[in-house]
Structure 1
Amino acid sequence: MRSEPLAWPPVSAQAASLLEEAADLLVLHRDFAAAVERCEAGCDSLGTGTGHGPESSAAEVKCSLCVVGIQALAEMNRWREVLSWVLQYYHVPEHLPPKVLELCFLLYSKVGEPQVMLEVGSSWLRDQANRSLPEYGSLLELYLVHVLLPLGRFEGAEELVRGCEVFDSQQQLAFLGTIGESRCQWARQEEMRSAAEEQQDEATESVLGGLSLCCLYSSFIISSALSQKLLTTLTLLRRALRSMSSHFYLLPYKKMLLATFLLYLVVVRLDPASPTSLPFIYKLVQLFRQAWAAVFSPLHRPPIQD
């Protein structure tokens, strides 16, 4: 026997048709961008005045459209847009359907960003209207396991469990035991992390100390090499000066002085290209005789030939 199709209102029928297209694009054709477009068009066709209670057929269609849209955005690795994309149709976290909130908890926990759902989940769980929903207990458990405990919010988790009227005493004890185990595991991980950081710091200090010693040793070697090289250079320079001085001492002092004086007269005072240089040569000879007589003593005066 074939079941009769559901009689949707005109607006809901249009949204339901878009929902069917979006589901086909998501599952069969794997066209995620087109699926998101169909979901957005379906949510826009329902308008902002649609109720969010579970008794509303329009609310069910809207929730299904958001579920398909979340899956399509996640497939395109656009998970960062999921929460803002959903809230543009529900406006406040308290109005999110349980199925949509559940998907958001699981999605942001899977990608390692549970802090995104911290305030959203707290607002939804504090709402009095949501406390009467049958999914409240399961969503509270998801919030504890996938949001509060991974973030180390153990005190807030204990307060939430003790103040929850949905859980009986056994369930509360079970959840408090889970919170205690998570607290101990968190403390062990913190100790291991701090120990690893201390070991890394010690290794870094030892490496830096070794590098400092190497640098000091290298500086000492370089300075020693420079000092040895400088000492060798000074020794050679001293030997060269000693050799030059001894060579100068071997030269006749008086002859060297006379040669220097004659060179000065020829280079500075006498210009061979000048017409007046010939008369000056005679004067130069007389000056040379006078210098010769003044320099050399009468006992050692050599003969002078004109």
Structure 2
Amino acid sequence: MPGDPPAWSPAPAQAQAQAQAQAQAQAAALLEEAADLLVLHRDFAAAVEKCEAGCDSLAAGAGPGPGPESSAEVKCSLCVVGIQALAEMNRWREVLSWVLQYYHVPEHLPPKVLELCILLYSKVGEPQVMLEVGSSWLRDQTNKTLSEYGSLLELYLLQVLLPLGRFEGAEELVCGCDVLDSEQQLAFLGTIGESRCQWSQQEERRSAAEEQHDAATESVLGALSQKLLTMLKLLRRALRSMSSHFYLLPYKKMLFATFLLYLVVVRLDPASPTSLPFVYKLVQLFRQAWAAVLSPIHKPAIRE
């Protein structure tokens, strides 16, 4: 009615708090369902879907400022469950990009999420994936105030930098970290030095093994080449002997014998009765010509 006072409406801040509370409750319920799907039912694909729905719910209910601590914990737990489900499906290549779509930049990753990512990619033998992500997270000033910073720094050194042989980068990171005291820096530098020595020894053993393999390959190829050369020499001698033998035969008699053979086999029809006497005479002539060709007079002399 015109005279009635306006209906009461909550303040914008209160309405935003209610929306965040509802989103958090919905995300917590989805987190519980995702955990059940992961652990009890082993339905990893459905678990990932629940985690994605929970993260989307928190994003939709978030205000312009940072959300409450409880919402951040729920979001981190959703990502932890999602990482485990993706790893179970052997979709570990998607883990980092999947996580960053909810945190956008590496510096905002929660310590637990960063730890799981480092361990996962180290386990599958791809630590270089976390090289830039870990470096960006550790160099962020806000992250240096976290209690987990020291353990993550050690994990990053042992699982990413040192396996990749990035010793100079590791020393630079440790020496430039003002969070560590002198004793911690000396301990980390000692670990880096030991890893460098082991790396050098492995490189020397690898080089020695490669040299031995190359030497063995060369010896095998040399033996095969020597055998092939011997066979070629024998073949050349045989061809030379055959050529010298045929060179001593009279060419006219050889051509005549070849022509007679051509007449008998190709030009005449042996099944025809009229051709039998002629064929018989040609065969006799062929035998006489062949005997003359291979007579002892034309055989090559035997060299002593």
For the criterion TM > 0.5, the same-fold answer is: yes
Name the CA distance, whole Å, in 2 between partners of 1:128 and 1:227: 86
Deviations along 1:247-296, one digit per CA (max 9) or x if unpaired, are: xxxxxxxxxxxxxxxxxxxxxxxxxxxxxxxxxxxxxxxxxxxxxxxxxx
Which residue matches 1:57? 70
Does residue 44 of the first structure (1) align with residue 56 of the second (2)?
Answer: yes
Aligned length: 237
Displacement after TM superposition at 1:222 (Å)? 1.1
Displacement after TM superposition at 1:113 (Å)? 0.6
- Matched position secondary structure for 1:165: coil
Deviations along 1:189-241, one digit per CA (max 9) or x if unpaired, are: 11111111111111122222222211111111111111222222233446957
Matches within 5 A, 1:9-20: 9-20=21-32
Name the CA distance, whole Å, in 2 between partners of 1:38 and 1:195: 53
Tell me if the contact between 1:52 and 1:59 (Cα under 8 Å) persists in the aligned partners. no
- Matched position secondary structure for 1:47: helix
Displacement after TM superposition at 1:83 (Å)? 0.2
Change (3 A) 1:52 1:211: farther
Of 161, 173, 184, the match for 1:148: 161
Which residue matches 1:33? 45
Tell me if the contact between 1:50 and 1:58 (Cα under 8 Å) persists in the aligned partners. no
Deviations along 1:123-174, one digit per CA (max 9) or x if unpaired, are: 0011111110111111101011001100111111112112223322222211
Matches within 5 A, 1:75-154: 75-154=88-167
Change (3 A) 1:156 1:117: same
Which residue matches 1:256? none
Name the CA distance, whole Å, in 1 between partners of 2:165 and 2:65: 33
Change (3 A) 1:19 1:150: same
Which residue matches 2:272? none
- Matched position secondary structure for 2:142: helix
Of 36, 39, 44, the match for 1:24: 36
Does residue 233 of the first structure (1) align with residue 243 of the second (2)?
Answer: no
Tell me if the contact between 1:22 and 1:35 (Cα under 8 Å) persists in the aligned partners. yes
TM-score (norm 1): 0.73
Name the stretch that deviates more: 135-144 or 167-176. Answer: 167-176
Change (3 A) 1:106 1:53: farther
Structure 2 residues without counterparts, runs of 5 or longer: 1-17, 258-304
Name the CA distance, whole Å, in 1 between partners of 2:63 and 2:141: 20
- Matched position secondary structure for 1:9: helix
Paired residue type of 1:194: S
Tell me if the contact between 1:46 and 1:62 (Cα under 8 Å) persists in the aligned partners. yes
Which residue matches 2:191? 178
Deviations along 1:18-55, one digit per CA (max 9) or x if unpaired, are: 10010000000111111011111111111174799796
Structure 1 residues without counterparts, runs of 5 or longer: 1-6, 245-306
Change (3 A) 1:54 1:43: closer
Larger radius of gyration: 1
Of 217, 225, 229, the match for 1:212: 225
